[in-house]
Structure 1
Amino acid sequence: MDTQSLQAFLAVAESGSFSRAAEQLHLTQPAVSKRIAVLEAQIGARLFDRIGRSVGLTEAGRVLLPRARQILVMVDDSRRALSNLEGSVGGSLTLATSHHIGLHRLPPLLKAYTGAHPEVRLDLHFLDSEEAYQGVLDGSLEIAVVTLAPHPDPQLTVVPVWIDRLCFVCAHDHPLAKVTEPTLRVLCEHDAVLPGPLTFTRGLIEARFAAAGLGLPVALSTNYLETLKMMTAIGLGWSLLPERLVAGDLRVLAVDHPPIYRPLGYIVHRSRTLSNAARAMLEQLDAAREAAARNWETTGTGRSAG
């Protein structure tokens, strides 16, 4: 059972298509089909049902899927462990981050990292935090820099780096802009535009309102904070946005309620052997964490370099 056949099997299983798997692996479709056929011959079972243009896993395919992931992760771990013996920082680093962190927190850090380690090929993925969590758990991502979950999986090492203060905001001409010190109950008299219902940030907000016995009147939602900012600025509702995102464009509401904070940081799998490139990235992130902690102690804000 060779790793190339397993990679082809995973690509087809995850994409649901031989043609999309071929594009992902930079192969022809017949080459992917041949690798699947070799794997089916080796295990003596059919892995996919092909009905028209639809491709689905057979029972044997469903049994093999998690084991194929484990095998490929073990092979990658072995390669990294051997490569690490050289002591050089190079190769590929698969890193995922959310759009907001990637745009507003990581650029200075990534610039410093690529300058210090030009031999590293950075494979950067912009994903929702929840999807990035799963990628680290599955082994497809080496590091994720994301909004941290309130109850992370015990298989993960979770390290907070920054703290985002979420500000209650509205458009300058919104009715709430005229209220001196609105309460949560007053906010609930107006439509809200908030992150999607399955996001960690939305969970933090809902928990705070639920503790006050209130339900959120959400009119619109999206996982992209920059889009939320735009919708808030044109008056579609009030929102909660990171402090560094709202300067000047929105009215910050002095809500009669303790601030809401969300932790941002990195996650890695406890059982994974990290490459030297990944270890060097964690050193950069740890340095950013220390700088943010010093800044928090002196200013009480999450504004920090990197």
Structure 2
Amino acid sequence: MDTSSLQAFVTVAETSSFSRAAEQMFLTQSAISKRISILEQQLDSRLFDRIGRSTNLTEAGQDLLPRARRILMELTDARRSLNNLSGEIGGTLSIAASHHISLHRLPPILRQFASECPQVTLDLRFDESEIAYDNVLKGNLEIALITLSPHPDARILPQTIWQDRLRYVVAPDHPLAQLKTVSLEQLTGYPAILPGSTTFTRQIAEHQFSELGLSPDIAMSTNYLDTIRMMVEIGLGWSLLPETMTKNGLTVLKADTPPVIRELGYIVHRERTLSNAARHFIDLLQRASQQ
């Protein structure tokens, strides 16, 4: 059993497609098929069911997938540990950052890292927090800069770097803008615009309501906070946005509730050996948290 076959298997499993796996691995589809065929022969088990255009894991494939990911991660960790012994900072650093952090928090840190570590190639992705979180869990990323999950997996090591105070906001001509204070019950009487139901930010936003047995009236959802801000500004509903995004064009409501705080920071996999580049990047993040 060789690592190239295992990597092909994991990539096909994650993309549910031989052709997409071939594109990601810069191979031909026949080369991917050959690697899977060799692996199936070695294990004496069929790993995928291919029905029409659908590619699904068999029971044997489902059992192999987490083991294959672990084997590949441990081999990568072994190489990384040996490279770390030199003390040099180089190679490729795979990072993902949420759109909000990328726009409002990351630029000065990236600038400093690029200046201090010119030998490092950055594999930087801009993903939703939940996608980046999942990719760290699968071992596809070293670091993710995200809205931290309220209930992280035991395999995830989270570290808060910034705290976002969230504020209830409306357009200046919204009926709620005329009130001195606003209760959560009053908010439920008007349409809300919040991130999607699977996002960490939405979970944080809904927590206060659920504690009182209330549920906001979600009129629209999008995971882009800048888009939400625009829709609130033109009067389509209220929202809960970071304080840094509430200036100019919005009215901040004085809610009769404790402040809502969103933890922003980085996550790594507890079982992954970090490269020297990742350690240096984390050091820069820690310094940013102290400023």
Under a length normalisation based on structure 1, what TM-score does the superposition of the two structures give?
0.91
Q: Show the 5 A alignment for 1:242-257.
A: 242-257=242-257
Q: What is the Cα deviation at residue 140 of structure 1? A: 1.2
The answer to whether structure 1 residue 226 and structure 2 residue 226 are counterparts is: yes
In the TM superposition, 1:84-233 aligns within 5 A as: 84-233=84-233
Deviations 1:212-263 (A, max 9, x none): 3322111111221111111111211000001112221312112232211111
After TM superposition, give the deviation of residue 154 of structure 1 in Å. 2.3
The separation in 2 between residues aligned to 1:195 and 1:72, in whole angstroms, is: 34
After superposition, what is the alpha-carbon deviation per residue over 1:53-103, rounded to whole angstroms, capped at 9, x for unaligned?
A: 221112221121111101100011011001101111111111111111111
Where does residue 77 of structure 1 map in the other structure?
77
Shift of 1:210: 2.0
Instruction: Report Cα offsets for 1:21-62 as digits up to 9, x if no partner.
Output: 111111111111111122122222221122222211122211
Task: Report the equivalent of 1:282.
Answer: 282
* Paired amino acid for 1:272: R
- Look up the equivalent residue of 2:2 and give its one-letter code: D
Match in the other structure for 1:235: 235
Residues 206 and 276 from structure 1, CA distance in 2 versus in 1: closer, same or farther, beyond 3 angstroms? Answer: same
Counterpart of 1:274, as a letter, is L
The 4+ residue runs of structure 1 with deviation greater than 3 A are none
Corresponding pairs, count: 291
Aligned partners of 1:189, 1:46: CA distance in 2, in Å? 55
Partner secondary structure for residue 146 of structure 1: strand
Cα distance in 2 for partners of 1:203, 1:18 equals 35
Counterpart CA distance in 2 for 1:164 and 1:76 is: 35
Paired with 1:83 and 1:6, the residues of 2 have a C-alpha distance of 23
Between the aligned partners of 2:78 and 2:282, the Cα distance in structure 1 is 20
Question: For 2:240 and 2:138, how far apart are their aligned partners in 1?
Answer: 31
Q: For residues 253-288 of structure 1, give each alpha carbon's deviation from its aligned partner in whole angstroms, at most 9, with x where no partner exists.
A: 122322111111111112111000100110011001
Specify every segment of 5 or more residues in structure 2 that has no aligned partner in the other structure, as ranges.
none
Under a length normalisation based on structure 2, what TM-score does the superposition of the two structures give? Answer: 0.96
1:10 alignment counterpart: 10
Amino acid at match of 1:112: Q
Counterpart CA distance in 1 for 2:84 and 2:96 is 22
CA offset at residue 170 of structure 1?
A: 0.9
Gaps of 5+ in 1: 292-306
Amino acid aligned to 1:159: Q
Q: Secondary structure at the match of 1:34?
A: helix
Equivalent-residue separation in structure 1 for 2:81 and 2:9 (angstroms): 25
Identify which range, 150-159 or 81-90, moves more after superposition. Answer: 150-159
Name the aligned partner's letter for residue 14 of structure 2. Answer: E
Q: Which residue identity is paired with 2:63?
A: V
Identity over aligned residues, as a percent? 57
The Cα RMSD (Å) is 1.3
